Structure 1
Amino acid sequence: MKKLMQPTSLLLYLALLFLVGTVASCGSDRSDRPGSRSTLATANDLQDKRIAVLQGSTHEAYATQHYPKATVLQYKSVSDMLLAIKTGKTDAAIYSRDELMEYMRSSDDLGFVGGPLYRTPASIAFQQQDTELLSSFNRFLQQLRSDGTYDGMLKRWMEQGATEMPKLNTTGTGKPLAVGVLSDNGLPFMVMKDNRLIGFNIELMERFGAFCNRKIQYIDLDFGSQIAALAGHKIDLIATPLAITEERKKRVAFSDPYYTFDSLAVALKKNIATQSASSSRPPSFITGIITGIITSFQSNIIHEKRYLLILDGLKTTVIISIFATIFGTLLGALVCFMRMAKSRLLSAPAKIYIAILRGMPVLVLLMLIFYVVFASVNINPVIVAVIAFGMNFAAYTAEIFRTGIEGVEKGQTEAGISLGFTRTSTFLHIVLPQMVRRILPVYKGEFISLVKMTSIVGYIAVQDLTKASDIIRSRTFDAFFPLVMVAILYFLISWILMQAMGWLEQKTDRRRAAS
């Protein structure tokens, strides 16, 4: 009964946390706290403020250069950057006008601080040595402009604010074209809707694929990782809006510009001298809870079929966890055998492997395998994740196995051999069963840790459970609901696995099984 109460109590706690967070998110903004508000009239007022930027963007370089006294905060996604403004964690942000205008169509809490800071031409980035593909795109872009298709795309996405893709022929028969994208970049350029990408740049890529008879394969990567992925031949081109800079030219080749966008500073309207946010009477406590839950569930789960993202992410997380555990267990057994061997030719490499893998962060190992080891190999990122997590898991299980084996008295092995058993038979029938009983509690903990560590696979373009929540947050700008939902799902996965391991532990313990 006690075991059943533990997950139930935790679920009740998470549910209570969800209710409190929902009410808080529907209530007053954190920026209303005394001392957190400051009036902004022009961009010059940002000199001593906190400025949010997208990591690796030209906005980051501009803020660092023009506001040396300001605190520049780097964010990996646009949604996190805008949420930082709404929650008072930053005073303003610098980003391009078009994406900000799309957000302002659905929410009137943000406003521009002054006029445009600078203008930047946007281009498609290619591998430096792939001059043929670059020339093909430039010819395609010229044709698009000459026949009027380009103007129609501009009118549909930039002026009319389209949210649906036109019907296009995407049945290319040539080699797939790997295109790097940022799914939470925002409209009008690209965004995830109904479990598929839409936007101006997505239409541009679909038309380019039809032009060169190649099917487009989208690879969702963090903005700061895209140039490295392109230079490392993981993708063929970058479709995310990318400004041309001299530093970037050293690593990638740019096409002819396809658009020019303005970059502006944005902040909460209540903090801008020339603007004011609309105010409304806050709902009652009970009404706020009910309305908040219904609204959050509708926008984060039902709308645009976002539950499909969660289901796909859940499936990917489970697949990586299970196969990484199997691979890591088998590899760990091999490393353990080498580690316990009397020959230094076997034991020395095993010791080095264990020391390096246990001392290296899993994220670094994941990135090294994806961008360095398999730099020139077209491999599924899920397989890379299984290999990386399996290698890390093997380093720990090897030591767990060794400790379990050494915990069995040597006299039992000698007794088995004296009775006529071979060393292999002695190990399988005498040592191994006792070792399994000893190591299962520790092995179970490492297994659950591996499941939770898989939340970082989004760094190599794997859409797992955490990445799915990031995509949802980029559309709803709701920080609380997606994160708590994912936390509950991870807990359920871990709890189910712990129950399964507990059942196995009970079956291997003869005393507990007999009772």
Structure 2
Amino acid sequence: MRRTGFLLMMSVAVMLLLCACSRQQTELIHSVSDDTSAQSITSNEQLNGKRVGFITGMIHIENFRPHYKAVEYEFSGFSPMLEALKAGKIDALLSNDAVAKEIIHENPGLTMLPSYAEIFASVGVNKNNTELGDKLDAVIKRFLKDGTIDRIEKKWSGSDEAAKVLSTVNHNGENGTMIVGVQGDDYPSSYYKNNELVGQEVDLAQLLADELGMKLKLVVMDFSGIIPGIASGKIDLAFNLAHSEERAKSIRFLSPMSTFSSVATVKSADYVGTASGETFLASLKDSFRKTFLVEDRYKLILQGLWVTIIISMLSVLFGSLLGVLVCAMRRSRTKLLSGLAQIYIRLIQGIPIVLLLMILYYILFAKVDIDPVLIAVVGFSINFAAYASEIFRMAIDATDKGQLEAAYALGFSKYAGFFKVTLPQALRHILPIYKGEFVSMVKMTSVVGYIAIQDLTKMSDIIRSRTFDAFFPLLATAFIYFVLTYLFIFVLGRVELRIDPKQRKRIVKGVRPSVPAGKEEAV
């Protein structure tokens, strides 16, 4: 226990050191930016030859390329892209004007260049679901005519936070369920406020579902997965999708709802970054408050942590059972079974887990209404079984065959010899490697956000999208993963001690332990 406490204290110290180093690096970069303020970008033409960042799948870079030539950097979200801009890794970030205004509001010293393209955004639906598409289009046209959409846009883009509440509706669900894909980290379109998913898109989705007499199901996913999700049928629709000829080949666009501008956000000439007078402890306290306490965001972390634990525990359970079966097939004398097991192992070991999850989600289970968490469990179980089966096989092959032959000579059956002679010795070889493989799988679950699962990492990204703090949420999430994996290692280590006869204490029945002289009890 002392060793465990010491390691936890050391990990906290390392996290604080990383926070301090990241803050010092940021201040150094900001001081350098002061010296280069004369080179600040003031027009779109100056972006030629510069480094620009964009979000995967968004159309802003496609509108940018015909006019300017720049070095392109691709990001998965606005938080890392914003931090890259402030750190000097890129010179500009591309977005629509609404997102740019929010970024500038939260980060003084940044500025927005003039628009370089106009975007007509509308609802995207599955091409094959013509009935739903026609009904939605009729309702949207009516909402445009009576001003409903305009009122929703003004409410969620305004400065009155008290007015930003979802409309009251009654989803009777008599006509089925409407599945809508949202990002969940895109203010003011869809974001978390007081642990509730709100925003312009959420509000409009509720009104549309109410008009059509349908239940509403919101699926939080990365933007890069929204259009594939519509095309594959995992979701029915998504909002604010910019029209392009390439996208129109995969999905159907309804009547245009709004117009956005593609803009570039850059550092202004007077950019100084974070106030230099703020102490490290004050900065750490403020980051902790924004990450965990504001709007009770710690509850989002707990929700994501629970999802991570559920996926990890179920995957190791079913993956181990499947691994035992594959191991038995691999060691079978039947060439067909052994060959199939070997093909399975080599195939799964050669496919990245992210691709396996996306194949399951967007292809094999595309038409099946199943919780993405279950798909993740299936994917990680399949992946874990391939490695666990080889661990089991090598441990069994490492046992002394002479002992098994001696057991047969003493009258043991084949199954009794395996469970009483081979298996106890094999477990000593299995657990150390099995423990490491399990920990690796727990850390690999951080990629499940690709298939619309809000795990620990995804919840951290959602919080970062609201705080625009790239350092503290990442370090806090890393610390939580460390504690979680260390607890798993500790539990498996205790199991290993109880199984390995060389490490556990031996107690011989009928023999009393020796007592030091002078300590004998009176009889």
Normalising by the residue count of structure 2, what TM-score does the alignment of the two structures yield?
Answer: 0.91
Match of 2:466 among 454, 468, 475: 475
1:132 pairs with 2:123: no
* Partner in structure 2 of residue 179 of structure 1: 180
Matches within 5 A, 1:387-466: 387-466=378-457
What SS does the aligned partner of 2:116 have? strand
Equivalent residue number for residue 88 of structure 2:
88
| The 10-residue stretch of structure 1 (40-49 or 17-26) with the greater mean CA deviation from structure 2 | 17-26
Residues 150-174 of structure 1 show CA distances to partners (whole Å, capped at 9, x for unaligned) of: 3322332334465722441143324
Supply the AA of the counterpart residue of 1:98.
Answer: A
- 2:509: which partner in 1? none
Deviation string 1:239-286 (CA, Å, 9 cap, x unpaired) is 2x210111111100011111111111210112xxxxx34789621xxx
Range with greater deviation from structure 2 (37-46 or 505-514): 37-46
Matched residue of 1:511: which SS? Answer: coil
Mapping 1:335-414, distance limit 5 Å: 335-414=326-405
Corresponding position: 1:32 with 2:33? yes
SS of 1:108's equivalent? coil
Classify the secondary structure of the residue corresponding to 2:366: coil
- Checking the alignment, whether the CA contact within 8 Å between 1:178 and 1:236 is kept in structure 2 is yes
Cα deviation, 1:371-405, whole Å, max 9, x if unaligned, reads 12212211111111111111111111111100111
Aligned partner of 2:11 in structure 1 is 10
The structure-2 alpha-carbon separation of the partners of 1:441 and 1:7, relative to structure 1 and needing over 3 Å to count, comes to: farther
Structure 2, gaps ≥5 residues long = 507-523
Cα distance in 1 for partners of 2:274, 2:91 equals: 23
Give the AA of the match of 1:393.
F
**How big is the shift at 1:147?**
3.4
Aligned to 1:207: 207
Moved more, 330-339 or 376-385: 376-385
Judging changes above 3 Å, is the alpha-carbon distance between structure 1 residues 351 and 514 closer, same or farther for their aligned structure 2 residues?
same
Alignment partners' CA distance in 1, 2:214 and 2:27: 47
Pairwise CA distance, 1:105: 2.8
Residue identity in the other structure for 1:263? S
Alpha-carbon distance in structure 2 between the residues aligned to 1:158 and 1:3? 49
Distance 1:194 1:111 in 2: 29
- What is the DSSP-based 3-state SS (H/G/I as helix, E as strand, rest coil) of the residue aligned with 1:206? helix
How far apart in 2 are the matches of 1:290 and 1:9?
18
Distance in 1 separating the partners of 2:15 and 2:41: 39
1:341–1:282 Cα change, 3 Å: same
Question: Alpha-carbon deviations, 1:110-156, whole Å to 9, x = none?
Answer: 1112x211111101100001111111111211222343323322332
**1:292-333 CA-partner distances (Å, limit 9, x unpaired):** 022111111111221111000000000000000001100010
Tell me what 1:150 maps to: 149
Report which stretch shifted further, 342-351 or 194-203. 194-203
Larger radius of gyration: 2
1:506, CA displacement in angstroms? 0.2
For 1:282, give the aligned amino acid: S
Q: Distance in 1 between matches of 2:389 and 2:403?
A: 22
**Distance (Å, rounded) in 1 between the aligned partners of 2:343 and 2:35:** 55
CA offset digits 1:402-448 (Å, max 9, x no partner)? 01111111122222222222111111111111111111101100010
Deviations 1:83-103 (A, max 9, x none): 221221110122111121123
Q: Offset at 1:190?
A: 2.0
- Contact kept? 2:29, 2:88, Cα under 8 Å: no
* 1:64–1:105 distance in 2 versus 1, CA, 3 Å: same
**Contact 1:22/1:293, CA 8 A, preserved across alignment:** no
Q: How far did 1:222 drift?
A: 1.4
Q: Structure 1: how far apart are the matches of 2:105 and 2:443?
A: 37
Deviates more, 1:414-423 or 1:468-477: 414-423
Q: Percent identity?
A: 35
- Paired residue type of 1:309: L
Worse-matched range after superposition: 48-57 or 196-205: 196-205
- Cα distance in 2 between the residues matched to 1:17 and 1:194: 29
Matches for 1:246-325 after TM superposition, within 5 Å: 246-270=245-269, 276-277=270-271, 282-283=276-277, 288-325=279-316
Which residue of 2 is the match for residue 54 of structure 1?
A: 55
Q: Partners of 1:341 and 1:36 in 2: how far apart?
A: 71
Task: Tell me which amino acid in the other structure corresponds to 1:67.
Answer: Y
Residue 273 of structure 1: aligned partner: none
**Per the alignment, do residues 162 and 12 of structure 1 end up closer, same or farther by CA in structure 2, a change over 3 Å counting?**
closer
- Conservation of the 8 A alpha-carbon contact between 1:31 and 1:87: no
Given that residues 395 and 430 in structure 2 are in contact (C-alpha distance below 8 angstroms), is that contact kept between their aligned partners in structure 1?
Answer: yes
Which one is further off, 493-502 or 300-309?
300-309
Aligned-residue offset at 1:2: 5.0
Question: How far, CA to CA, are the matches of 1:191 and 1:236 in structure 2?
Answer: 20
What residue number does 1:233 align with? 233
3-state DSSP of counterpart to 2:504: helix
TM-align CA RMSD: 2.1
Q: By how many angstroms is 1:356 displaced?
A: 1.1
Q: Which residue of 1 aligns with 2:111?
A: 111
- SS of corresponding position for 1:74: strand
Who is 2:514 aligned against? Answer: none
Contact 2:27/2:274 (8 A) holds in 1? no
Does the CA contact (< 8 Å) of 2:121 and 2:258 recur in 1? yes
Contact 1:26–1:292 (CA under 8 A) maintained in structure 2: no
2:325 is equivalent to residue 331 of structure 1: no
**1:265 is paired with a residue of what secondary structure?**
strand
Distance 1:291 1:148 in 2: 46
Determine helix, strand or coil for the equivalent of 1:133: helix
Deviation for aligned residue 1:181: 0.9
Q: Secondary structure at the match of 1:463?
A: coil
1:27 Cα deviation from its structure 2 partner: 7.1
CA displacement 1:356-382 (0-9 Å, x = unmatched): 111221111111111122122111111
Tell me if structure 1 keeps the 8 A contact 2:172–2:215. yes
- The SS at the match of 1:263 is strand
User: What is the distance in 1 between the residues matched to 2:416 and 2:38?
Assistant: 74
Are 1:192 and 1:198, in contact at CA under 8 Å, matched by a contact in 2? Answer: yes
SS at match of 1:514: coil
Cα distance, 1:64 vs structure 2: 2.9
Cα distance in 1, alignment partners of residues 108 and 247 from structure 2? 35
Displacement of 1:202 after TM fit? Answer: 1.6
The answer as to whether partners of 2:291 and 2:467 remain within 8 angstroms in 1 is: yes
Q: Which amino acid aligns with 2:494?
A: W
